[in-house]
Amino acid sequence: MTDPTPTMTFHPQPTAGTPAPWAFPAPERTTLANGLTVLHCHRPGQQLVAVEIQLDAPLAAEPDGLDGIANILSRALSEGTDTLTAEEYAGELERAGATLDAHADHPGIRVSLEVPASRLERGLTLLADALRAPALPEDEIERLVANRLDEIVHEQANPARRAAKALYATLFEEADRLSRPRSGTADTVKNITRAAVQSFYADHVRPATATAVVVGDLTGIDLDALLEATLGGWTAAPTAAGTHAPVSADDAGRVVIVDRPGSVQTQLLIGRIGPDRHDPLWAAQILGTYCLGGTLTSRLDRVLREEKGYTYGVRAFAQPLRSNAEGSGRALIAISGSVDTASTAPALADTWTILRTLAAKGLTDDERDEAVQFLVGVAPLKYETAGSVAATLADQVEQYLPDDYQAEIYRQLAALDTAAATAAVVAAFPPDRLVTVLVGDASVIADQVRELGIGEVTVIS
């Protein structure tokens, strides 16, 4: 074949130099006089300091009929304090060049502050005020409730959100908080009042059951004194830490189609539950799951995207849901992505073929090697910013894991063999124990999906 491109001089593919040693940062752990646990970590050069506050306010503790109150409280924390109105508080944060985000999830409420190191004191003071003395004003709570009701309508129009909602609803028992939307439904959110939010705050926002994680360039900062002067002023009577009920789920193979007439794509979410990060096989499961669906050269995308063109990308992952100190918590294990409507059944058929082939023949050594090199090698990049280190440390606390957990996972990953990775991913994704949720045009896809034999098909609207 003649090629019109002018030629260049080619050289052999270069070999790597000597790697620099790197380890996941080890935090220092202290406790303030008010009982607040503090983890901190100095990261030279990271001028944006990240602060994560983990509050023991799990969704399972929400009062009956008030699903979503933890979410409303998390937003209300930044709607004014004993000295600042809601607008003034927002203005002061912005003046400090800070951002404050809060969200409520099954393990608890997380409040995340990012602020330039030069203004850390101002940022911590504002954060402490929000935790210590939030005004929780009536009119702002009303507005947050109304806002939330509007958002629910928008989320309903989003195929990925709808798929997740349907999966959780079918996977878990109705009585388990996990089965219901994290931020509540219209029926529960509309009943949330200021009094209920104040009461939820009083019960769950207490320093003795909370943890603060501070990461960034702390050069020249007397952190202990700064924390005592800010977060140290937050007081409340100590309380017993919450307990977390065991999780069970029905993962018998079945299909739920959420009808979305006219959809040009079908959103796929194929899931079940498995052990959480306490499981001794967690590192092997990370490795095997990456080989299945971690990137566009993994098994799923190699076929669904790069051979067939059915999708922009499909990913396999595991996400801890609710953990406990005993280590019997659970994680959602899933495959997620979207495919053009006409390719729905063919893409599912290929997915099951990939899973069955994986179970029958296992991973190859080359796949294992490339995955380990990526997962371990990419760690210095993944944890370059203060925010990513702080979030990981706070996750560990929230999931009852030791502070050196992530560092230990990297040590394990480097040593795992192909058979261990295969065993873990095959155990995580058994083809007959997967619940498939499809958000798409049922009139086009339902009959073809029934013929696949991946489980009984139910259509909901």
Least Å distance, CB 357 to another protein, is: 19
Helices vs strands, H then E, count in the chain: 17, 12
In the complex with another protein, which residue's Cβ is closer, 44 or 280? 44
In the complex with another protein, which residue's Cβ is closer, 165 or 277? 165
Of the candidate residues 306, 365, 408, 432, the single one contacting another protein (CB under 8 A) = 306
Angle (CA) 406 70 129, round 5°: 85
Least Å distance, CB 420 to another protein, is: 19
Least Å distance, CB 400 to another protein, is: 22
SS3 of residue 333 by DSSP: strand
Does 407 interact with another protein (rule: CB under 8 A)?
no
Of the candidate residues 60, 133, 160, 444, the single one contacting another protein (CB under 8 A) = 160
Does 373 interact with another protein (rule: CB under 8 A)?
yes
Cβ contact 288:375 at 8 Å: no
Does 444 interact with another protein (rule: CB under 8 A)?
no
Strands (DSSP E) contained in 28-187 are: 28-31, 37-42, 48-55, 99-105, 108-116
In the complex with another protein, which residue's Cβ is closer, 47 or 248? 47
Number of residues that bind another protein (CB under 8 A): 111
Alpha-carbon distances of 27 from 51, 138, 376, 393, 411, rounded to whole Å: 13, 40, 20, 8, 17
- State which of positions 223-282 bind another protein (CB under 8 A): 262-265, 269, 271
The whole-angstrom separation of Cα 459 and Cα 439 is 10
The whole-angstrom separation of Cα 282 and Cα 230 is 38
Sort residue 108 into left (φ over 0), alpha (ψ -120 to 50) or beta. Answer: left
- State which of positions 332-351 bind another protein (CB under 8 A): 332, 334, 336, 338-340
Of the candidate residues 58, 80, 108, 159, the single one contacting another protein (CB under 8 A) = 159
Does 427 interact with another protein (rule: CB under 8 A)?
no
- State which of positions 116-135 bind another protein (CB under 8 A): 116-119
The neighbouring-strand residues paired with 414 are: none
Least Å distance, CB 135 to another protein, is: 14
Starting at the edge strand found earlier in the chain, the sheet holding 28-31 runs 28-31, 37-42, 211-216, 48-55, 108-116, 99-105
Does 175 interact with another protein (rule: CB under 8 A)?
no
- State which of positions 32-61 bind another protein (CB under 8 A): 44-48
Does 3 interact with another protein (rule: CB under 8 A)?
yes
* Beta-carbon count within 10 A of 221 CB: 18
Q: How many CA atoms lie within 13 A of 458 on its CB side?
A: 11
In the complex with another protein, which residue's Cβ is closer, 4 or 280? 4
Does 415 interact with another protein (rule: CB under 8 A)?
no
Two tokens, residue 205: 């926002």
Region binding another protein by CB under 8 A among candidate stretches 112-120, 207-215, 246-254, 400-408:
112-120
